[in-house]
């Protein structure tokens, strides 16, 4: 029989058994199962190390919960729509469907080889009509609820992906530019950044297109405030979302604008036709007296109106809307309109300016060049007055408003009746007293642009009719399935003529289908719900089950999803709740962001050529290694040497189980050191359980390794006690099983464990080991002290070692005086403390107690006082562990308790036995 563990050989067998016994299938009668989920993979064709780490974490936790007796829902599916499949199909002269299905087959094989235990009966694939029909159904429900908008907008366009992008899919990248504009130091808009596509890093441009949006901004407040309650989410992810949502408190200030009349649709009646009110948002309303102009974004309604009657404005608007915001700078065009300052009544010029963003605040600003950097830059460019209205409190601060804005707080000046007030006071009074200035909150969050001009996604269920406009497709005509793939350079749906031509559901006349598909992040916004009832035909998910089973108990994935997937998922859940489909408003209770696996200090990536394939070192070695290398949230370095450690742990455990079966000859009569081992098995169970609960698999692995080492030593020390030793080995098999399930199963089987370890009960301690840390520390420090004495005294060959536990009265003394000692280390009255001890009737003499109390007071470190036990239990711990001393020093050991007068009595302290070593002097 071999004692070499060959994972490749055993894996197929156990995988067959697990599948045969349906061990990962959620029982039909499960009531509120523990829902453990890893972010489902994009179907790229191969698993990479990030996937392996992600799924090793969820799998270990799911297995652990199952052994704890939970019903566990641990499903897997495929994020299968998306541009890469379309590109791959185009290059390989195939179609996205065939390509994606081939990828799925390959990745599923890989997941199975790794031994991840999924309930495959719940598999979902987002590119199948059975799934994406529900995207269309949700689109319609959101449409009816007023959460879908169709708008002509200037949107982000990736020329390489040939599609628009959502705001969250545009990333900022620092670029080096040689030229710098003069006098604009510290100016936010002049910082050299480039906006690039999240997928292909191509610089993003602008396009004017009619597009579909989900109005996620309707939920900005709830998405923001709800973050506070997500206590089991990493702070980092919550902070990223908080910043992305970008809540800002400030004021809305109304300016009357004249000179835009005539074409204004907003001017509702004849009397007001001459003026219109433009609201601006400002976080610093107290600077209102410093406003010297008003500026609106090129997308603002007022800009439209003004453009209609002014060719210069029209040309500017046209120009800016097609350009990248980075190129627009502080350009602008003065209009014929004028705005009336709400406090001074002064007439201010009105500009259309590209630096004012349409979807930030109200899309209009009051220009306060003296106290806002961007307004300052604009004023310099257009020769506008700069009027200071806030002066620093500290008069020695040098302020030169011509060269720089002063953006701090201070004392108001040139501000009418508010002059002389501090910024904050002025702000409050203005809000309270001026009708045109009102409290307001804005959010940086934009609506979610879901249109994509690509093929491989969910068709948007709308037709365009010349007579009726945009008409949603009736539910009974869903799903709108994708037509066959057409290889073309533009949008393939646009080229699918036959598919595109349809009839209008309203008037029956000829109409065209919408050719945009949905952002694939729509698919992933609700997939966790489909896993509850994957085969359901008349609804996307079972509402009753969802109410019982949600939220997802533990969700694991990469932090890069913080503002895309994880924000959209929260939005979707809230919207579905408002549609009456869910009770829960938050989808995920506990979120874990896994760290990165590094190689030579860099993230593994195929473009850098530093990829380690999951199979390279053997599937189970890899998963055991990624779990034992570091805390799940930390990055760690892949080194062959450390992988070896994981490999050796497997060989050790397997070798010990094999040897046990072969040796057979075991002791029946119990000896004290069996008690130590039994306690250590219990202590390890408690420690490992705690580590699994906290996702600290690396520390669980360390505990397992320690127990294995101890068991080996125990076996070598003396013929093992059959029952105790077997329990130790079975415990190891069970404790390692969540991380290395094939190994766990193989060892469990060799040791004749009951049933399958995957279905076994989680081990429980046989004795009370609540104090296990203290017990371990006593043994460790005693051993270290013996070692120390042997070294310091240069003892070659100790013959006998006495371990002497302190007298009972010392434990009692500490208990009696604990509080006093803690409080009065310095200058305590030793005499009165000694009196108290003696009055309590302890069995001790004053001449013994006095120096002990003095010594206690003199010690700086009183941690030992916190964990005082009693002489009897210390003695029995030392007796059980005496074999470790014998084993290490090859000497006889005695453990006894000191009595007064004993020469070792004075040295013995609670938690610190006196040690005496006899040896042959040479």
Candidate segments 507-515, 626-634, 657-665, 753-761, binder of Zn ion by CB under 5 A: 507-515
In 793-859, alpha helices (H): 808-823, 830-839, 846-858
Map the footprint of Zn ion across residues 296-355, applying CB under 5 A: none
Q: How far is the CB of 269 from Zn ion (least distance, A)?
A: 34
- From 189-197, 478-486, 673-681, 893-901, give the range in contact with Zn ion by CB under 5 A: 189-197
CB of 463 to Zn ion, least distance (A): 8
Residues forming beta bridges with residue 647, ordered by sequence position = none
Over 572-596, what HEC string results?
A: HHHHHHHCCCCCCCCCEEEEEEECC
Shortest reach from residue 454's CB to Zn ion, in Å: 11
Peptide bond into 695 cis (omega under 30): no
CB nearer to Zn ion: pick between 324 and 506: 506
Cβ count near 714 (within 10 Å): 22
Compute the least distance from the CB of residue 200 to Zn ion, in Å.
3
State the nearest-atom distance from the C-beta of 508 to Zn ion, in Å. Answer: 7
Regarding 200 and contact with Zn ion (CB under 5 A), the answer is yes
Cα gap 64→74, rounded to integer Å: 12
Q: At what angle do helices 672-693 and 49-67 cross, to 10 degrees?
A: 120
Does 463 interact with Zn ion (rule: CB under 5 A)? no
CA 232 from chain centre, in angstroms, equals 9
Question: What are the C-alpha distances in Å from 536 to residues 34, 543, 730?
Answer: 21, 11, 42
442's tokens: 């804005």
* Cα 848 to Cα 907: distance, rounded to the nearest angstrom: 11
158 is an interface residue for Zn ion by CB under 5 A: yes
- Please say which residue, 419 or 605, places its beta carbon nearer to Zn ion: 605
Query: Binding segment for Zn ion among 172-180, 410-418, 457-465, 486-494 (CB under 5 A)?
Result: 457-465
CB-count exposure of residue 33 (10 Å: 0-12, 13-18, 19+): buried
Least CB distance to Zn ion at residue 253 (A): 39
What is the SS3 assignment for 546? helix
Q: Does 468 bind Zn ion (CB under 5 A)?
A: yes
DSSP character for 846? H
CB of 452 to Zn ion, least distance (A): 11
Taking CB under 5 A as the criterion, the residue among 130, 359, 506, 723 binding Zn ion is: 506
CB of 596 to Zn ion, least distance (A): 23
Nearer to Zn ion (CB atom), residue 19 or residue 160: 160
CA distance linking residue 485 with residue 495, whole number of Å? 10
Q: Does 197 bind Zn ion (CB under 5 A)?
A: yes
Q: Which stretch binds Zn ion (CB under 5 A): 112-120, 348-356, 498-506, 888-896?
A: 498-506
Q: Which of residues 543-572 bind Zn ion (CB under 5 A)?
A: none
* 507 touches Zn ion by CB under 5 A: yes
Residue 507: CB minimum distance to Zn ion, A: 3
Pairing type for strands 347-353 and 332-340 reads antiparallel
Kind and range of the H or E run holding 456: none
Question: What dihedral do alpha carbons 41, 45, 46, 50 form, nearest 10°?
Answer: -30
CB of 158 to Zn ion, least distance (A): 3
**Cα 344 → chain centroid:** 51
Rounded to the nearest 10°, the torsion over CA 119, 122, 128, 131 is -140
Q: Does residue 504 bind Zn ion (CB under 5 A)?
A: yes
Stretch 686-725 residues interacting with Zn ion (CB under 5 A): none
Nearer to Zn ion, 203 or 551 (CB): 203
Residue number with CB closer to Zn ion (158 or 567): 158
Give the nearest distance from C-beta 156 to Zn ion in angstroms: 10
Of 265-273, 434-442, 505-513, 852-860, the window that binds Zn ion (rule: CB under 5 A) is 505-513
What whole-number distance in Å separates Cα of residue 86 and Cα of residue 161? 10
C-alpha span between 189 and 114 (Å, rounded): 49
- 275 vs 453 by CB, closer to Zn ion: 453
DSSP H helical ranges for 737-870: 741-750, 772-792, 808-823, 830-839, 846-858, 863-866
| Closest to 779 in 3D by CA, of 683, 701, 852 | 683
Say whether the peptide bond before residue 551 is cis (omega within 30 degrees of 0). yes
Q: How far apart are the first and last CA of the chain?
A: 49
CA 66 to each of CA 36, 211, 510, 696, 757: distance values in angstroms, whole numbers, following the listed order: 11, 47, 57, 18, 11
Asked if 850 interacts with Zn ion (CB under 5 A), we say no
- Binding segment (CB under 5 A) for Zn ion, from list 190-198, 248-256, 539-547, 732-740: 190-198
Binding mask 115-154 for Zn ion (x = CB under 5 A): ----------------------------------------
Span from 199-207, 563-571, 647-655, 844-852 in contact with Zn ion (CB under 5 A)? 199-207
Helix orientation angle between 741-750 and 722-736, rounded to the nearest 10 degrees: 160
Q: Which two tokens stand for residue 886?
A: 């014998």
Of 36, 49, 161, 849, the one binding Zn ion (CB under 5 A) is: 161
164 touches Zn ion by CB under 5 A: no
**CB of residue 495 to Zn ion, shortest distance in Å:** 21
Structure tokens at 106: 């390959």
Nearest partner of 277 among 498, 436, 138, judged by Cα? 436
In this structure, how many other beta carbons lie within 10 angstroms of the beta carbon of residue 397? 11
Closest approach, Cβ 79 to Zn ion, in A, equals 18
| Residue 160 interacts with Zn ion (CB under 5 A): yes or no | yes
Contacts of residue 132, defined as CB under 8 A and 6 or more positions apart, other chains included, come to 81, 126, 458, 479, 523
* Options 54-62, 184-192, 325-333, 462-470: segment touching Zn ion (CB under 5 A): 462-470
CA atoms of 73 and 236, how far apart (whole Å): 27
Q: Which is nearer to Zn ion, 472 or 655 (CB)?
A: 472
Which residue, 145 or 201, is less far from Zn ion as judged by CB?
201
Q: Does 529 bind Zn ion (CB under 5 A)?
A: no
The nearer residue to Zn ion, 199 or 699, going by C-beta atoms, is: 199
Asked if 402 is part of the footprint of Zn ion (rule: CB under 5 A), the reply reads no
d(CA 254, CA 402): 28
Nearer to Zn ion by Cβ, of 195 and 444: the residue is 195
Rounded to a whole number of angstroms, the minimum distance from the CB of residue 155 to Zn ion is 14
Minimum separation from the CB atom of position 152 to Zn ion (A): 21
| Piece of the chain touching Zn ion by CB under 5 A; list 68-76, 460-468, 519-527, 669-677 | 460-468
The answer to whether 465 contacts Zn ion (rule: CB under 5 A) is yes
CB of 504 to Zn ion, least distance (A): 3
Residue count, binding to Zn ion (CB under 5 A): 13
Q: What does the binding site for Zn ion look like in residue numbers (CB under 5 A)?
A: 158, 160-161, 197, 199-200, 202, 465, 467-468, 504, 506-507
């Amino acid at each position: 029989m071999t004692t070499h563990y060959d994972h490749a050989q055993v894996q197929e067998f156990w995988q067959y058994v697990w599948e045969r016994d349906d061990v990962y299938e959620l029982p039909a009668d499960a009531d509120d199962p523990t829902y453990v989920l890893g972010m489902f993979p994009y179907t790229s064709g191969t698993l990479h190390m990030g996937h392996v780490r992600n799924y090793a974490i969820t799998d270990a936790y799911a297995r652990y919960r199952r052994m704890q007796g939970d019903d566990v829902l641990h499903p897997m599916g495929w994020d299968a729509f998306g541009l890469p499949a379309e590109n791959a199909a185009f290059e390989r002269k195939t179609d996205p469907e065939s390509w994606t299905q081939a990828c799925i087959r390959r990745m599923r094989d890989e997941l199975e080889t790794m031994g991840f235990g999924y309930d495959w009966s719940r598999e979902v694939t987002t590119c199948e009509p059975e799934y994406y029909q529900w995207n269309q159904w949700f689109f319609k429900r959101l449409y009816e609820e007023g959460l879908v908008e169709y708008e002509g907008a200037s949107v982000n366009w990736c020329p390489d992906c040939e599609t628009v992008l959502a705001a969250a899919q545009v990333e900022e990248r620092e670029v080096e530019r040689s030229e710098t504009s003069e006098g604009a130091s510290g100016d936010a808009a002049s910082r050299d950044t480039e906006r690039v596509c999240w997928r292909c890093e191509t610089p993003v441009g602008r396009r004017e297109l009619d597009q579909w949006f989900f109005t996620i901004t309707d939920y900005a407040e709830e998405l923001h405030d709800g973050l506070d309650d997500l206590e089991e989410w990493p702070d980092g992810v919550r902070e990223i979302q908080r910043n992305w949502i970008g809540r800002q408190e400030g004021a809305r200030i109304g300016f009357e604008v004249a000179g835009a009349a005539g074409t204004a649709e907003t001017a509702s009646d004849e009397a007001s036709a001459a003026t219109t009110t433009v609201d601006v948002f400002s976080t610093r309303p107290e600077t209102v007296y410093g406003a010297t102009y008003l500026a609106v974004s090129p997308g603002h309604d007022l800009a439209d109106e003004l453009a209609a009657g002014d060719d210069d404005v029209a040309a500017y608007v046209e120009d800016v809307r097609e350009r990248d915001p980075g190129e627009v700078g502080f350009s602008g065009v003065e209009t014929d309109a004028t705005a009336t300052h709400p406090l001074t009544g002064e007439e201010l010029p009105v500009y259309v300016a590209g630096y004012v963003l349409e979807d930030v605040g109200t899309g209009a600003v009051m220009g306060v060049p003296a106290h806002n950097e961007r307004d300052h830059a604009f004023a310099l460019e257009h020769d506008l007055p700069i009027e200071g209205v806030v002066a620093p409190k500290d008069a020695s601060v040098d302020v030169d408003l011509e060269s720089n804005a002063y953006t701090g707080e201070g004392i108001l000046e040139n501000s009418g009746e508010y002059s002389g007030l501090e910024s904050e006071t002025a702000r409050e009074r203005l809000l309270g007293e001026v009708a045109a200035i009102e409290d307001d909150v804005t959010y940086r969050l934009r609506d979610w642009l879901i249109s994509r001009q690509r093929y491989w996604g969910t068709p948007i269920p709308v037709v365009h009719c010349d007579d009726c406009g945009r008409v949603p497709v009736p539910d009974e005509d869903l799903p709108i399935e994708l037509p066959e793939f057409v290889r073309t350079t533009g949008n393939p749906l646009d080229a699918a003529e036959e598919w595109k031509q349809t009839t209008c559901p309203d008037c029956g006349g000829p109409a065209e289908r919408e050719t945009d598909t949905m952002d694939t992040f729509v698919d992933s916004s609700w997939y966790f719900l489909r896993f509850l009832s994957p085969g359901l035909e008349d609804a996307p998910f079972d509402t009753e089950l969802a109410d019982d089973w949600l939220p997802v108990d533990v969700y694991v994935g990469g932090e890069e999803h913080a503002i895309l997937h994880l924000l959209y998922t929260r939005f979707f859940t809230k919207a579905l709740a408002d549609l009456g489909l869910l009770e829960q408003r938050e989808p995920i209770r506990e979120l874990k962001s896994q760290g990165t696996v590094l190689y030579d200090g860099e993230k593994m990536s195929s473009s850098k050529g530093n990829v380690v394939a999951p199979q390279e070192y053997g599937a189970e070695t890899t998963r055991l290694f990624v779990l034992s290398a570091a805390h799940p949230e930390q990055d760690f370095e892949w080194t062959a040497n450390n992988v070896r450690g994981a490999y050796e742990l497997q060989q050790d455990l397997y070798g010990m189980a094999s040897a046990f079966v072969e040796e057979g000859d075991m002791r029946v009569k119990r000896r004290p050191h069996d008690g130590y081992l039994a306690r250590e098995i219990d202590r390890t169970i408690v420690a490992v359980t705690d580590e699994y609960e906290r996702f600290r698999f690396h520390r669980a692995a360390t505990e397992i390794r320690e127990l294995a080492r101890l068991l080996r030593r125990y076996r070598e020390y003396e013929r093992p006690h059959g029952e105790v030793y077997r329990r130790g080995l079975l415990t190891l098999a069970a404790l390692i099983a969540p991380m290395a399930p094939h190994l766990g199963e193989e060892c469990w089987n060799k040791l004749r464990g009951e049933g399958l370890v995957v279905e076994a009960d989680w081990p429980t301690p046989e004795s009370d080991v609540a104090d296990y840390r203290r017990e371990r520390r006593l043994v460790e420090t005693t051993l270290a002290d013996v070692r120390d004495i042997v070294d310091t005294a240069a003892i070659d060959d100790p013959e006998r070692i006495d371990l002497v536990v302190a007298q009972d009265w010392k434990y009692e003394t500490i208990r009696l005086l604990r509080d006093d000692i803690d409080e009065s280390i310095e200058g305590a009255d030793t005499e009165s403390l000694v009196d108290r001890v003696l009055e309590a009737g302890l069995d001790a003499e004053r001449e013994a107690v006095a120096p002990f109390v003095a010594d206690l007071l003199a010690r700086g470190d009183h941690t030992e006082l916190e964990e005082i036990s009693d002489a009897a239990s210390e003695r029995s711990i030392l007796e059980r562990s005496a074999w470790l001393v014998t084993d290490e020093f090859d000497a006889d050991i005695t453990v006894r308790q000191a009595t007064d007068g004993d020469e070792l009595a004075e040295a013995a302290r609670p938690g610190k036995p006196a040690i005496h070593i006899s040896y042959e002097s040479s």
